Every structure is written in structure tokens, then in C-alpha cells.
């Protein structure tokens, strides 16, 4: 495959940022292999993210093309696209590379994992969508390896999309190990340029905008929010990135009712790979915690819990409902022990702090909901401060609880909901976890 074809197949690229010479591009256009299209259609639709709502496609007087021009706000963070922006797309079909490949994964699957793995393979074979409904710690990634290996040998182009960069970064080394001879691209905001034709693309959902009819099979990890009622553009990104009728495998520990209804083929795993039940959250009152923290006091029950973990040398996460509360609590927690740090979604040192907690340099981390997924730390203990707060819906609380007891060596641990009055969402999370545990033993 020539470099331009390898780069451009299935992608949508801004011409100005196109990494090949004008001459090469012109050649490809003359051979009907590539095309240059306007960034926004006359009807006002963004050709990259398919946005068409008037609130997001903005008209203004443009000094580049000297007339009224429109730009798309939805995908603006990836470089603005306007009516006078030219996009390059590849239009020629790509030959499939069929043949035997190296499989570098040698682990074994539990009975339930094996069953789910085979069911997913069968769905891909039939070309139908599939929902893998599996609790946190069920060993979801391992379940995917065999189906992906089969797809790879059939020459299918594979995509694994997840909402956040952390998850993608965690997946990358495991995929490189499992598929040592495959070209794997890892894409997230500001990820380094990667050469060649990516056979397996690990990407944040947002980066999918850069693809167009690219994938023969798509795995959407953490598809809890699907269909994305709040951000329909993400669902559009998934649909746009797949080839016509390519199957989508949705993976979720807390799928929405709609998703469960819309996808007809399901696998469920309510038991963790090590077989131990999910830790069940317990409740503890923390009256007026907001006001107390505001007045520079860590409430006594919370302080006691922290001291207990410090004494037992168990790493812990404290989930707070807002960044403001984290900021107020951070110095107070540091006063208890200087090895307790705070982190929130906009913190540039986020990755590093999580790593320090994992390797023991930090003992505890106060965090907003952003860390609820994609983090696995041995022997981790978790407390939610203000579990009754509206930011913690049942799905988020289940995910938070799912951080605990992940390793076979330490399958238990604290999941403590500190509250200022028990909320329905807390009960719902607890009931759901109990029901998983019950179903797992039957």
C-alpha cells in the first residue's frame, strides 16, 4: 500500500494539514482515488462530524473567502472546519490483507468469558450488533482478544473506541502484546502522528470524527451512555466511522435501558474473572459535610476512615461531587498526611498522580468523578463524599464501586458512601450490585 493510501483510507483530513505534496494529491485525484470536498455542505452540514444543527453551524463574514461562510463548533477542537476549508478523502476501495497472524495472548478465559467471547465472534460473523453487559472486573478486554484476532486474519479493519484518553492508554500496551505483528494506532487529543495503515485503531470516541466508512467492526467500550442522549454527535461519530452495516459491539457495565432494548444480541457476565462477588457499598452519614469542609474541617467520620486506611497502608480514592469541594478539602487532607493529593479533570498532572498512587508514592487521592473508570490499583479502598449528590447517578456509583477488589489476591475492600441523606440513586446502585452478585452464583 502506498503511503498516501495507507494514511488516508477511511479518513477525513483537512487539506492544509495534509502530510503529502500537492503533486501527489493531484495525481491521486486524477486517478479517481482521492477527492477534495468542502468542509461544510451547502445545506449546512459539517462533512467531518455531520453536525447540522443551526446552533452549532455558525454563519459569519469570513475574511479568507470574503463572503458569508459557516463553521462547525461541534468538532472545532480538532481544528476548525468552515465552508472554505477543504477536506481530503480517499475514495478507492482497499484490498483486504487476508492471512495468518501472530496471536500474542496466552491467558485463559473463565467459562463465562469464553461463552461471551464466542458469542461476540458469532455476531461479527453474522454482521449483527452485540451488547457485552459485564460487571467491572469481569475481564472485558480479554474477552475481545479472540474475536479481534479472528477479524484481523480476515483482513477486517478494527476499531476500539472509548470515551476517555486514560482508557485508551491503558488498552494500548495490552493490544500491542496480544497482536505483535499488527499495525496498531492509538489516537487521542494531541496523540503523536502514527504512520502506515492502522489495522487496529484504539481511539477516543471524539477522534472517530476523523474517520469515514473506515471500519469493518467497531468495539465501543464503556458504552453506558449510548445512545448518547446528551451528546448525539458522539453516536453520529461511531455510525459515520463504520462501513455500511459493519457490526458494532457495545461494552458496558451499566448499559442504558434503551441500549439493552435496541441491541438484540447480548452476553452478560455478572461475575468477576476471579469469581469473588462485587464489593457491596455501605452507607455512613456525614451531615453537613459541605459546610464543614467549607469551614476548613474534615468531618470526623471521614477523618477516621482515612486514618484507618493510612494505618493499614491501603491506597484509597476519595470521590468528591465538585471541583470546588476538592479544592477546599485538598489542604485539609494534606494536613492529615502529606501523601494525600488531589486531582481533577483539568489537572495536567493527572496521569502522573494516578501512577504515584499505584506505585505507593501517594497513599490517597481526592478526585472528581473523572477517575471513576479506567483505573485499576491493587488493594484499593474507595469512599464517596456526598454520594447523595446529583452528580453521582447509579451508573457512576456502580463504576466507582467497581474500582475495588479487582485483583484475585485482594478481591475485597471498602466501598463507603458518605452521605448527607440517602438518595434513591445510592439505593439503586446498591440493589443492582446485590442483584449481580445473586445472579453470579446461580
Residues contributing to the site for another protein (CB under 8 A): 55, 58, 60-65, 69, 71, 73, 76-77, 80, 82, 84
* Distance in Å, CB of 268 to another protein, minimum: 34
d(CA 329, CA 221): 33
What is the Cα 52 distance to its own chain's centre? 25
Angle at 401 between CA 396 and CA 402, to 5 degrees: 95
d(CA 71, CA 44): 9
As given in the structure block, the three cell numbers for residue 64 are 479568507
For residue 49, the partner it binds in another protein, Zn ion, none, with Cβ less than 5 to 8 A by kind, is Zn ion
Applying CB under 5 A, which of residues 14, 58, 59, 62 lies at the interface with Zn ion?
62
* Distance in Å, CB of 56 to Zn ion, minimum: 8
Angle at 144 between CA 397 and CA 259, to 5 degrees: 50
Give every CB contact of residue 162 below 8 A, 6+ residues apart in sequence.
168, 171, 202, 203, 204, 205, 220, 221, 222, 374
Please tell me whether residue 207 binds Zn ion under the rule CB under 5 A. Answer: no
Nearer to another protein, 60 or 287 (CB): 60
Nearer to another protein, 80 or 296 (CB): 80
Please tell me whether residue 74 binds Zn ion under the rule CB under 5 A. Answer: yes
**Site for Zn ion, residues 8 to 47, rule: CB under 5 A:** 46
Nearer to another protein, 76 or 172 (CB): 76
* Residue entry with cell 448499559: 255
d(CA 140, CA 146): 12
Region near Zn ion per CB under 5 A, out of 57-65, 115-123, 242-250, 284-292:
57-65
For residue 150, the partner it binds in another protein, Zn ion, none, with Cβ less than 5 to 8 A by kind, is none
- Residue 231, classified by CB atoms within 10 Å of its CB into exposed (0-12), middle (13-18) or buried (19+), is middle
Q: Taking Cα atoms as reference points, which of 407, 322, 319, 328 lies closest to residue 364?
A: 319
Nearer to another protein, 113 or 233 (CB): 233
Residue pair 25/33 in contact (Cβ under 8 Å)? The answer is no
Contacts 24+ apart (CB under 8 A), 50-54: 50/233, 50/236, 50/240, 51/75, 51/233, 51/236
* Distance in Å, CB of 321 to Zn ion, minimum: 17
Applying CB under 5 A, which of residues 65, 285, 300, 335 lies at the interface with Zn ion?
65
Please tell me whether residue 237 binds Zn ion under the rule CB under 5 A. Answer: no
**Site for Zn ion, residues 302 to 331, rule: CB under 5 A:** none
As given in the structure block, the three cell numbers for residue 120 are 461476540
Nearer to another protein, 114 or 347 (CB): 347
* Distance in Å, CB of 223 to another protein, minimum: 21
Region near Zn ion per CB under 5 A, out of 6-14, 28-36, 63-71, 413-421:
63-71
* Distance in Å, CB of 423 to Zn ion, minimum: 25
For residue 398, the partner it binds in Zn ion, another protein, none, with Cβ less than 5 to 8 A by kind, is none
The strand pairing partners of 198, in sequence order, are: none
* Distance in Å, CB of 72 to Zn ion, minimum: 3
For residue 80, the partner it binds in Zn ion, another protein, none, with Cβ less than 5 to 8 A by kind, is another protein
Please tell me whether residue 69 binds Zn ion under the rule CB under 5 A. Answer: yes
Please tell me whether residue 51 binds Zn ion under the rule CB under 5 A. Answer: yes
Applying CB under 5 A, which of residues 64, 258, 338, 359 lies at the interface with Zn ion?
64
Give every CB contact of residue 387 below 8 A, 6+ residues apart in sequence.
281, 283, 397, 417, 418, 419, 423, 426
Helices (H), 86-164: 111-126, 140-153
The strand pairing partners of 62, in sequence order, are: 67
Q: Strands, DSSP E only, in 197-273?
A: 200-204, 217-220, 248-252, 266-269
* Distance in Å, CB of 55 to Zn ion, minimum: 13
As given in the structure block, the three cell numbers for residue 46 are 459539517
* Distance in Å, CB of 417 to Zn ion, minimum: 29
Nearer to Zn ion, 84 or 280 (CB): 84
Footprint of Zn ion (CB under 5 A): 46, 48-49, 51, 62, 64-65, 69, 72, 74-75, 84
Amino acid at each position: 500500500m502506498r503511503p498516501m493510501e495507507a494514511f488516508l483510507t477511511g479518513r477525513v483530513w483537512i487539506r492544509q494539514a495534509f502530510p503529502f505534496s500537492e503533486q501527489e494529491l493531484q495525481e491521486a485525484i486524477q486517478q479517481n482515488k482521492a477527492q477534495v470536498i468542502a468542509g461544510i455542505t451547502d445545506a449546512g452540514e459539517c462533512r467531518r462530524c455531520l453536525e447540522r444543527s443551526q446552533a452549532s453551524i455558525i454563519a459569519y463574514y469570513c475574511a479568507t473567502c470574503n463572503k458569508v461562510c459557516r463553521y462547525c463548533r461541534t468538532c472545532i477542537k480538532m481544528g476548525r472546519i468552515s465552508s472554505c476549508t477543504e477536506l481530503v478523502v480517499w475514495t478507492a476501495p482497499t484490498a483486504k490483507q487476508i492471512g495468518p497472524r501472530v496471536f500474542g495472548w496466552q491467558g485463559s478465559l473463565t467459562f463465562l468469558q469464553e461463552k461471551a467471547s464466542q458469542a461476540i465472534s458469532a455476531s461479527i460473523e453474522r454482521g449483527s450488533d452485540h451488547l457485552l453487559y459485564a460487571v467491572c472486573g469481569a475481564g472485558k478486554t480479554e474477552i475481545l482478544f479472540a474475536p479481534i484476532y479472528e477479524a484481523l486474519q480476515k483482513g477486517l479493519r478494527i476499531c476500539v473506541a472509548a470515551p476517555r484518553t486514560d482508557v485508551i492508554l491503558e488498552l494500548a500496551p495490552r493490544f500491542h502484546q496480544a497482536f505483535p505483528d499488527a499495525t496498531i494506532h492509538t489516537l487521542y487529543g494531541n496523540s503523536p502522528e502514527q504512520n502506515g495503515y492502522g489495522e487496529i485503531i484504539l481511539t477516543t470516541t471524539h477522534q472517530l470524527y476523523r474517520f469515514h466508512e473506515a471500519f469493518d467492526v467497531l468495539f465501543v467500550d464503556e458504552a453506558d451512555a449510548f445512545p448518547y442522549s446528551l451528546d448525539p454527535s458522539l453516536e453520529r461519530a461511531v455510525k459515520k466511522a463504520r462501513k455500511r452495516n459493519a457490526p458494532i459491539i457495545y461494552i458496558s457495565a451499566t448499559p442504558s435501558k434503551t441500549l439493552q432494548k435496541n441491541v438484540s444480541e447480548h452476553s452478560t457476565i455478572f461475575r468477576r474473572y476471579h469469581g469473588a462477588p462485587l464489593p457491596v457499598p455501605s452507607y455512613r452519614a456525614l451531615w453537613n459535610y459541605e459546610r464543614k469542609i467549607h469551614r476548613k474541617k474534615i468531618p470526623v467520620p471521614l477523618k477516621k476512615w482515612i486514618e484507618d486506611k493510612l494505618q493499614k497502608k491501603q491506597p484509597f480514592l476519595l470521590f468528591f461531587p465538585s471541583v470546588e469541594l476538592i479544592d477546599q478539602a485538598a489542604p485539609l487532607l494534606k494536613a492529615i498526611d502529606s501523601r494525600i493529593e488531589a486531582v481533577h479533570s483539568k489537572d495536567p498532572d493527572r496521569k502522573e498522580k494516578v501512577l504515584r498512587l499505584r506505585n505507593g508514592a501517594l497513599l490517597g487521592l481526592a478526585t472528581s468523578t473523572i477517575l471513576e473508570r479506567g483505573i485499576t490499583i491493587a488493594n484499593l479502598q474507595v469512599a464517596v463524599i456526598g454520594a447523595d449528590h446529583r452528580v453521582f447517578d447509579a451508573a457512576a456509583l456502580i463504576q466507582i464501586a467497581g474500582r475495588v477488589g479487582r485483583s484475585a489476591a485482594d478481591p475485597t475492600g471498602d466501598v463507603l458512601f458518605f452521605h448527607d441523606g440517602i438518595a434513591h440513586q445510592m439505593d439503586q446502585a446498591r440493589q443492582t450490585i446485590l442483584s449481580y452478585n445473586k445472579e453470579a452464583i446461580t
